[in-house]
Amino acid sequence: MNQFDLTGKIALVTGASYGIGYAIASGYAKAGATIVFNDINQELVDKGLAAYAAEGIKAHGYVADVTNEDQINAMIAQIEKEVGVIDILVNNAGIIKRIPMVEMTAAEFRQVIDIDLNGPFIVSKAVIPSMIKKGAGKIINICSMMSELGRETVSAYAAAKGGLKMLTRNIASEYGEYNIQCNGLGPGYIETPQTAPIRVPGHPFNEFIIAKTPAARWGTTDDLVGPAVFLASNASDFVNGHVLYVDGGILAYIGKQPK
Ligand code: NAP
Ligand code: GCO
């Protein structure tokens, strides 16, 4: 039996019109899964549907804001009616604000926490009952280097991603007996629209990250697909409450000595 085969599984990836979510969903489709995704507006959902179709993937797209419990509950009910019960949930949707903490408004802080932490709670809470009924489920929360490390200007994001690591452990603890595995996937610094502003060649942060990464490069979304398939598949049925960091070695490395 191919433990990494996702044939017959239905995977919901939040915020997956592009970026990391899109790459993971596309990888799941190639492993046999049926892909369902949401994004915040119809334009993005249509953009995502076109991108999946261009790869020969018939995805199902829904407009829903992960912070809106009514929208999420309605979407899950619609998915179960139109596609089927969700076997795999990837809580991917997220934002970042890079503002010095003392200059960040409480509203800005709350917005990041709402999307990056409350959102995964809301969506997980909506899908777990059907996973319990089905007798199995996989939940993968997209964590971050900021689940372990702080840095200037990302206080809200680090608080959210640190909380997401503990929400991951708590879901694993509370629902493991129902054969639900909940794990984190912790990307390092990845080339996506979210990091474009700090990845400009010659930008000090760009050089900094390359010096902090043993692999001496930014990650790509392709680097995340194999680990994401592992966490969604039967190959990880006894892995629970773990955060799998896919960071090229950043967390293990003090950083290259400046020349
Ligand atoms: P991205 O390119 O900004 O994509 C994020 C996606 O989430 C977008 O489609 C976005 O839609 C959607 N989204 C935002 N708010 C939403 C909401 N309230 N409801 C539904 N969808 C929403 O980000 P990314 O780089 O692919 O990152 C994806 C995830 O990986 C995030 O959780 C991020 O924190 C995490 N991560 C990223 C990196 C990295 O280096 N890129 C590293 C570690 C972790 P809009 O276009 O409308 O915003
Ligand atoms: C930043 C980056 C990071 C990455 C990622 C690292 O400004 O430091 O955006 O936060 O997005 O989370 O794992």
Judge whether 107 lies within some domain.
Answer: yes
Ligand 2 atom closest to Cα of 144?
Answer: 13
Residue among 20, 161, 14 at smallest CA distance from 75? 14
pTM for this predicted structure: 0.98
Q: Is residue 210 part of a domain?
A: no
In a domain, 207, yes or no: no
CATH at 116: 3.40.50.720
What are the pLDDT digits (tens) for 150-179?
A: 999 999 999 999 999 999 999 999 999 999
Mean pLDDT of all residues in the chain? 97
Task: Tell whether the model's pLDDT for residue 201 goes beyond 90.
Answer: no
CA–CA distance, 226 with 213 (Å, rounded to integer): 20
Please give the residue that has the higher pLDDT: either 249 or 201: 249
189 CA distance to ligand 2 middle (Å):
6
Residue 1 pLDDT exceeds 90: no
Is residue 135's pLDDT more than 90?
Answer: yes
Active-site positions read: 157
**247: confidence class by pLDDT, cuts 50, 70, 90:** very high
Establish if 5 belongs to a structural domain: no
Residue type, 51: A
Q: Is residue 204 part of a domain?
A: no
Residue 236 CA, ligand 2 centroid: distance in Å? 26
Q: If you take atom 33 of ligand 1, which residue's CA is the nearest one?
A: 94
Q: Which ligand is nearest to the CA of 194?
A: 1
- Measured between alpha carbons, how far is 232 from 242 in angstroms, rounded to an integer? 13
Nearest Cα to Cα of residue 92 among 148, 33, 11: 11
205 located within any domain = no
Q: Which residue has the tokens 């892995």?
A: 239
Compute, in angstroms, the gap from residue 147 CA to the centroid of ligand 1: 15
pLDDT in tens, 98-121: 999 999 999 999 999 999 999 999
Domain containing residue 149? 10-190+223-252
From the CA of 189, give the closest atom in ligand 2. Answer: 6
Q: How many domains does the chain have?
A: 1
The answer as to whether 85 is a domain residue is yes
